[in-house]
Structure 1
Amino acid sequence: MSGFGGRVALVTGASRGIGRAIALALAAAGADLVVNYRREAATAEAVATEARALGRRALALGADVAEGDAVAAMVARAEAALGPIDILVNNAGIALRRTPEALSEAEFARTLAVNLTGAFLCIQRVLPGMRRRRWGRIVNISSGAARGGGIIGVHYNASKAGLEGLTRGYAARLAGEGVTVNAVAPSLIETDMLAEGREALARKVPLGRLGRPEEVAEAVLLVAGNAYMTGQTVPVNGGMHFT
């Protein structure tokens, strides 16, 4: 697959799982790559190394997306090394499994800070350049939990529902400026988030299995490559829910 040659993509939370798959799919499609991570520097660098093996320029940069100064420094370093960010994939997120009774105020706040505020901070930092160039692709990684009960907790539901609202709000205001904003909402994907009970969860999926990170990445490339699609949420859920 090709189509993003000459573009620079920033994928947050890209050291493993869905983020890693998205990053490598973008690199395979021709994009130079910024691999964001928070703690796992070695695995993030391994993703960058794989991208370089595909002939791309790639850089691994650590930053907590919930911190505005850290996001600003990351984007500045990325653009100094690779050029302006054309494609932003807000994938970084946390998923602390909690019952309503066990959920603390701090855990609720941290979940929203990473999953929702983090996306806002990254968008705000790259958006001025996208608007000046009249070209940009923003893809927010939501979840089936944005519109359903989910298995993580109410804090996760709230963060992902907010992310879809953020997606539609930016899309409405940027339509006509060459910048599209969409979301991809995976459910029950085979990642570390589903470390327990995978067989039981797979039985809930009409297709009879968990999804693969690479299948989420395919959906990201779909919306990033479509200049006429904006403000949409694309579910990747094996037929669990229809829209």
Structure 2
Amino acid sequence: MWRIAKTEIWKLKRYNIIWAGIALMLLSVLLTLFTSMAKDGSVWDFRYLIEQVIKNNMSTIFPMCITLIAGYIITREYKDDTLKNILTIPISFKQLIIGKLIVCGILSLFLGIVCTVFIIIGELLAHFPGASLVLVVQALWQITLINFFLYLAVMPIIIITSYSPNGFLAGVIVSFVYGYVGMLASGNMLFANLCPITAGLGMIQYRGYDSSVHWNVLLNFFSIGASLFFSILLIHFTGNPIGMKKITKKTAKYAHKKGW
């Protein structure tokens, strides 16, 4: 499995979609800086900047971003017509999907680091008070982990849409709506603890210092674990992607006869 994942990492060099992910991380920070100009009575400091970037990533940017990247990486095998050649090697479609999902998990961590770098640059430009090395380290691990947990939350969507050559665009739309639902769920702590898209916030103790925020780490862990377990079931019980059975039948139909 590591060889499959390593091969997928090497293949990333020719995918420009990675730059789209970096651009979306930049967009998240820019949108946050733009909202800081609104006269809504909010007192902005470096901690609040980090929290607002995490909120924007969760509700609007990252679920859509990682679904887009994962869907693109998977569907390139359809578009480039390489899937039939790959499956002639003793590698099943399930193993191929698992390898790609592992790479996407690594990418989610990488984009978390990229987002943190953009936050630091934004702080240097905006000069919000309260910046410190401790908060920079906190931003690094919180944003990196929340990106990974968000990836686990949308993984079932990625897997379901990966079995259709054009399904990943629908997956992007569903993930965007999913993130918006998470923003609505954050208004109720019970729903926020149970919803996978917001459970990651509890895992990183988002605004844990606020007395009105009550995260239940056990429920958060159960929610994200359920999403991961459902993803494993989807991979295990689903078969070949759409179109592969037709290809097999066509190959069998025009098979050469044995003998003279």
TM-score using structure 1 length:
0.32
Identify, as 1 or 2, the structure richer in strand: 1
Identify, as 1 or 2, the structure richer in helix: 2
